[in-house]
Amino acid sequence: MKNMQEPWERPIGIFDSGVGGLTVVKEIMKLLPFEAIIYFGDTARVPYGTKSKETITRFAMEDAAFLLKKNVKAIVVACNSVSSNSLEYLKSSFDIPIIGVIEPGALYACKKTRNKKIGITGTAATIESGAYEYSIREICPEAVVYSKSCPLFVPLAEEGWIEKESTFFIARDYLQELLDKDIDTLLLGCTHYPILKQVIQKVVGKGIFLIDSAYFTSIALKELLEENNLLRKSTAIIEPLFFLSDIPRRFSEIGERFLGKRIKKISVVDVTKQT
Amino acid sequence: MKNMQEPWERPIGIFDSGVGGLTVVKEIMKLLPFEAIIYFGDTARVPYGTKSKETITRFAMEDAAFLLKKNVKAIVVACNSVSSNSLEYLKSSFDIPIIGVIEPGALYACKKTRNKKIGITGTAATIESGAYEYSIREICPEAVVYSKSCPLFVPLAEEGWIEKESTFFIARDYLQELLDKDIDTLLLGCTHYPILKQVIQKVVGKGIFLIDSAYFTSIALKELLEENNLLRKSTAIIEPLFFLSDIPRRFSEIGERFLGKRIKKISVVDVTKQT
């Protein structure tokens, strides 16, 4: 392919523990339509968010190494559990620009809040890491942050229970304690959660601003590529490539719900067997 | 250790995708207190039940190979998703007796039902395999089987939402269609589900008999060991050994809930890196 060897012509690597990161791919494709994208979803080992920091970091290193072999110019960690537990380790291990989803979300939460009371939702791994609190306090030291892990939101999103009464009750059980703190901004700190945005908005009410980091991550990526002179110069559109470690049951339905369009071609890889 | 090299003195290997198989360990320890037990839970890759048959089989082969290296005399597949998708493959690959949890549960369901209408619950992998239907029809050709996958039951059990109103609503959403079929027996076809037994019983009512295969698997194991002259002869009690691929968050709490007692010592292993 013409100019494929120039650094800026190389693809962007994006990975997630599963299919949630496709919400980030969707935003990147909208904002940066001329970029080539290689996505890896670790569907054989999903979820990461209930697992230990050590295991999350080990898996993330294998995922990133796989993308590196595909000659990517930058990596987007489209997974909150990895971004909050393993981003520094990844950055210190590889020689290309790497960004996560935490800072873009934190930055935007700080911009939107008026009363400086911010709620954070996420997996157990994300919440326990304290990464959002840290990032928000760096940007806006006077903010008060209240966190709540919502482990059932991922399986609910994957089950597609978007409009069920049960989902409403579960969301209320999880979120009531954040509402009691008078938050005015709620960060959806997991790439799966935007699928449940409607029911979450119904539970928290219209007065609370919901933040989905996918869009802000695409903006941060654009800035990063500009800074490093890595924005692709060709304007021929390249179909994104999707790699998964397993083709999960009902994948086409779930994948389409996250990406917002049909996924044409998927390759299955075992990233533990790289030599 | 005395006689450790005699075949009957060797340990029993038990594995599961995670901690659910500890409910089976508990029953085996009760029925066969003099057996040595080595348990492996693949907590780094849990759950299996949402993944493809190929991936489940690949993982199960690695899990069994790990136990084989520990010199086990027999293997109990304490995981419904593996038992229903990969048992024949495992049996044809290894030279020691291997049993799963499907047949013992199916046998008991056939014994308990009066109207020959049996409901089956399980993960997507278990239900889609049709293994319970097959097994039940072999034993009791006149039985009618109705199946329902309940993907949210595993995360609900792990979250410990045993008495929440939300759990009752979810169980009702899943089970109503089985109740409409007039079943009198309901098989809990996943080692996690017994944790939710009380709420499931509340949803289905007292008239329906719930079947948890853990106990019947321990009976089947005893028969298998007797047939093969593999019952341990020594009566010195040996502490079971627990191996996991990840120490998940809140493991001690969850593990204790499943095993019914404290787990003293756990070793972490990576079964993908066996040479």
Cβ-nearest to A246 among B44, B55, B124: B55
Cα B269 to chain centroid distance, Å, stands at: 21
Catalytic (active site) residue B79? yes
Choose which CATH entry (3.40.50.2020, 3.40.640.10, 3.40.50.1860, 3.30.70.330) describes domain B102-213. Answer: 3.40.50.1860
Catalytic (active site) residue B190? yes
Nearest C-alpha of chain B: how many angstroms from A255? 14
Q: Give me the total of CB pairs closer than 8 Å, taking one residue from chain A and one from chain B.
A: 77
* Cβ <8 Å between B164 and A173: yes
* Cβ <8 Å between A166 and B164: no
Which class is A7-100+215-273 in CATH? alpha beta
Q: CB under 8 Å to A227, separation ≥6 — which residues? A: none
Q: What are phi and psi of A87, to 5 degrees?
A: -65, -45
* Cβ <8 Å between A170 and B166: yes
Residuewise pLDDT in 10s, chain B (275 residues): 444 579 999 999 999 999 999 999 999 999 999 999 999 999 999 999 999 999 999 999 999 999 999 999 999 999 999 999 999 999 999 999 999 999 999 999 999 999 999 999 999 999 999 999 999 999 999 999 999 999 999 999 988 899 899 999 999 999 999 999 999 999 999 999 999 999 999 999 999 999 999 999 999 999 999 999 999 999 999 999 999 999 987 787 888 888 988 888 899 999 998 75
User: With helix as H, strand as E and coil as C, how does A201-267 read?
Assistant: HHHHCCCCEEEEHHHHHHHHHHHHHHHCCCCCCCCCCCCCEEEECCCCCCHHHHHHHHHCCCCCCEE
d(CA A86, CA A138): 19
* Cβ <8 Å between A155 and B158: no
Helix (H, G, I), strand (E, B) or coil at B162: coil
The answer to whether A44 faces chain B, any CB pair under 8 Å, is yes
d(CA B228, CA B209): 33
d(CA B191, CA B193): 6
Provide ipTM, 2 decimals: 0.90
Interface test mutation site (partner A, options B249, B252, B254, B275, max chain A beta carbons within 10 A) = B249
Residue B12 is which amino acid?
I
B 172-191 residues with CB < 8 A to A: 173
In B20-79, alpha helices (H): 22-31, 53-69
- pLDDT of res. A249: 77
Q: Would A7-100+215-273 and A102-213 be classified into the same CATH topology?
A: yes
- H or E, element range at A54: helix A53-69
Stated length of chain B: 275
pLDDT digits (tens, 9 = 90+) for A117-176: 999 999 999 999 999 999 999 999 999 999 999 999 999 998 889 989 999 999 999 999
Interface test mutation site (partner A, options B53, B150, B159, max chain A beta carbons within 10 A) = B159
Cβ-nearest to B169 among A59, A169, A272: A169
d(CA B236, CA B102): 31
Question: What residue spans define the domains of chain A?
Answer: 7-100+215-273, 102-213
B169 chain-A contacts, CB cut-off 8 A: 165-166, 169
Whole-structure pTM value: 0.93
The answer to whether B43 faces chain A, any CB pair under 8 Å, is yes
HSE-up of B116 (CA within 13 Å, CB side)?
7
